[in-house]
Amino acid sequence: MKVNPNCLGRLFTENELTKEERQLAEKLPAMRKEKGKFFCQRCNSTILEEWYLPIGAYYCRECLIMKRVRSDQSLYYFPQEDFPKQDVLKWRGQLTPFQEKVSEGLIQAVDKQEPTLVHAVTGAGKTEMIYQVVAKVINRGGAVCLASPRIDVCLELYKRLQKDFVCEIALLHGESEPYFRTPLVVATTHQLLKFYQAFDLLIVDEVDAFPYVDNPTLYHAVKNSVKENGLRIFLTATSTDELDRKVRLGELKRLSLPRRFHGNPLIIPKPVWLSDFNHCLEKSRLSPKLKSYIEKQRKTGYPLLIFASEIKKGEQLKEILQEQFPNEKIGFVSSVTEDRLEQVQAFRDRELTILISTTILERGVTFPCVDVFVVEANHRLFTKSSLIQIGGRVGRSMDRPTGDLLFFHDGLNASIKKAIKEIQQMNKEAGL
């Protein structure tokens, strides 16, 4: 019996394989014991006493959604094999000198096996910068995965790569088609739990984003899915304390790209005092001050993206705005919106003129020529990182490298102040 190629580089529980397949596979203990505690070998979670089964074994509740891991069973994997050598990059665009520098830095990192952090501002053109290193690894027969915590980012990446690479690309997320073996994979970070020593190069985008940031399970998945001599590259627009610490300790090499691809500065957010937003919302009214800012913005004809802190408030705001601005076509998206992708596309195509969103659209999506308002910018859900990302939606287009970025608040907090300071700092670093 021959191994199914789609199994190579993948991790399985006992019940996912036939008896014949199990005989062909390599085995790992499903759990390891350290200092009297059990740990799941797939997701690295600590096994709690109450996760004990009547059959006399423990199971892991943390990664149960991916089939049950039991202490009396093994995990199985099929070692990854090289792919045929090929020439996969069809993109022929031109990198800016800043992008070129980072691209060369990444190729060196692969040659020297140096784990690397790329700290690039939003709109720097991160995707194009990784093309050369991705192509280099695939051309010599290696396997590459681009991972992100956010589905929207994965979908956007997938669309771009399909245009610019000739090889087949597997897209993996919670509701995607099944995996097929190919040298280029785009996946949400949770999907990495199903791989074992599969990739020569793993690039993790948006490493500062939920649910990846400070998630030990996903850190473990990233580590485990790469071959022993494989390389990890991390991309971010807003660094985290943990990443900064690793750079200081020399565990990560840092490459910085402080300038956007069109060479213009990042837009500095303008804080605007707004104290009656919630009071008016409760009475199904729109704050007069907010209304006058929206009226002024709509006269420009540019699309308007409004960020709300919570789903319920976003829905309410949409209803009120539709009443107040009957000529505008208004949408609302959140993590639970079923037609989110369609609405995002409609906004991109200017079929919607105003789009209200929760933090779900804070990163990974590009809307040309957009203005951005954040209501309740001092809400606890808007962290420094998410405010920088939100700010990065403005001024991304060559056609309009400027735009309005307003943070409405009823009290400046640390997140707003830090976000403004970091954006100013990146502009300074870029000499702008």
Q: What string of H, E and C letters represents the secondary structure of the chain?
A: CCCCHHHECEEEEHHHCCHHHHHHCEEEECEEEECCEEEECCCCCECCHHHECCCCCEECCCCHHHCCCECCCEEEEECCCCCCCCCCECCCCCCCHHHHHHHHHHHHHHHHCCCEEEEECCCCCHHHHHHHHHHHHHHCCCCEEEEECCHHHHHHHHHHHHHHECCCEEEECCCCCCCCCCCEEEEEHHHHHHECCCEEEEEECCCCCCCCCCCHHHHHHHHHCEEEEEEEEEEECCCCHHHHHHHHCCCCEEEEECCCCCCCCCCCCEEEECCCHHHHHHCCCCCHHHHHHHHHHHCCCCCEEEECCCHHHHHHHHHHHHHHCCCCCEEEECCCCCCHHHHHHHHHCCCCCEEEECHHHCCCCCCCCCEEEECCCCCCCCCHHHHHHHHCCCCCCCCCCCCCEEEEECCCCHHHHHHHHHHHHHHHHCCC
Q: What does the domain layout of the chain look like in residue ranges?
A: 5-77, 97-257, 270-429
In this chain, the answer to whether the domains covering 97-257 and 270-429 adopt an identical fold is yes
pLDDT in tens, the chain (432 residues): 788 899 999 999 999 999 999 999 999 999 999 888 999 999 999 999 999 999 999 999 999 888 999 999 999 999 999 999 999 999 999 998 889 999 999 999 999 999 999 988 888 888 999 999 999 999 999 999 999 988 888 988 999 999 999 999 999 998 889 999 999 999 999 999 999 999 999 999 977 766 666 678 888 999 999 999 999 999 988 877 778 888 899 999 999 888 888 888 899 999 999 999 999 999 999 999 999 999 999 999 999 999 999 999 999 999 999 999 999 999 999 989 989 889 999 999 999 999 999 998 887 788 989 999 999 999 999 999 899 999 999 998 888 999 999 999 999 999 999 999 989 988 998 887
Q: Which architecture does CATH list for 270-429?
A: 3-Layer(aba) Sandwich (3.40)
Q: Provide CATH code, domain 97-257.
A: 3.40.50.300
